[in-house]
Amino acid sequence: RKNIWKLSTGSKNLDEILGGGLESQSITEFAGMFGSGKTQIAHQACVNLQCPERIIADDAIKEEILNEPKAVYIDTEGTFRPERIIQMAEALGLDGKEVLNNILVARAYNSDMQMLYAENVENLIREGHNIKLIVVDSLTSTFRTEYVGRGKLAERQQKLGRHMATLNKLADLYNCVVIVTNQVAARPDALFGASEQAIGGHIVGHAATFRIFLRKAKGDKRVAKLYDSPHLPDAEAMFRITEKGIHD
Ligand code: ATP
Ligand code: MG
């Protein structure tokens, strides 16, 4: 695993528990209830990719990353907001429209489209797009609504596993940061008790290197908990979501 680089989340606290930021050649999963900040973190990552100070990399590789880097945002819930990107970009002194132009948004209406868009990222790269960030927001919502009931579990598990394998391959081959979101009703400790969660949890858990559980705290505060990392201790971090975006 050579040439690993990191993308800041915008929060020093959150970067710290991740070991410095969102790591390339890995999948980072953000799970949590509605409004916990999964989509906001994904938007901020797309903005931060255009901010050289928020890319942590050796000089040699930094040049490659900074060569018109682009993000792919696979949006399965219709929650991508261009205005929010512009707001976050301007808070960093960046040109909002320019930042927006470097985000390739793909609206997926079902799991087949979602999987196809992920598979197509390789073609975009071959066409010359320097894709360095891939977001799937949400990873699980289409699968949840399409594969309902016991009889569909095996198929759902298999497809989700294949989708994650595609994302892992892209991360490895092209040195990308990959973020996936996963809405859950329960906390991580409770998460593995319920059979509904255990299925997605099992598959996602094996494919994602970094797993973060988000929960709401007072006002604009959020708590992120890193858990089940193969090489980092479980840890918590506090950050905020304001009109400026994600920060401590
Ligand atoms: P879901 O599971 O429903 O997709 P989520 O985890 O993706 O939820 P987000 O959409 O990331 O949740 O978070 C929404 C929250 O982010 C809002 O409730 C609000 O607190 C905050 N937020 C969003 N936009 C702004 C903004 N422009 N200024 C300040 N706070 C904002
Ligand atoms: Mg969301």
Express each pLDDT in 97-136 by its tens digit: 999 999 999 999 999 999 999 999 999 999 999 999 999 9
With DSSP H G I counted as helix, E B as strand and the rest as coil, what are the percentages for the chain, rounded to 5? 45, 25, 30
Select from 145, 241, 244 the residue to mutate for testing ligand 1; criterion: most ligand atoms less than 8 Å from CB: 241
Question: For 54, which DSSP code?
Answer: G
pLDDT by residue (tens digit) across 30-53? Answer: 999 999 999 999 999 999 999 999
pLDDT digits (tens, 9 = 90+) for 63-103: 999 999 999 999 999 999 999 999 999 999 999 999 999 99
**Residue of 154, 152, 180 lying closest to 165 (CA atoms):** 180
Query: 133 has which bridge partners?
Result: 71, 177
Residues 6+ apart with CB under 8 A from 22: 6, 7, 8, 9, 28, 45, 177, 179, 210
Evaluate if pTM is beyond 0.90: yes
Indicate which atom in ligand 1 lies nearest the CA of residue 77.
4
From the list 174, 200, 40, the residue with the least C-alpha distance to 118 is 174
Per-residue confidence (pLDDT) for residue 23, from 0 to 100: 98
Q: Give nearest CA residue, ligand 1 atom 16.
A: 37
Candidates 106, 105, 137, 110; CA nearest to 31 is 137
Which strand ranges, in their side-by-side order, compose the sheet holding 22-23?
Answer: 22-23, 6-7, 55-56
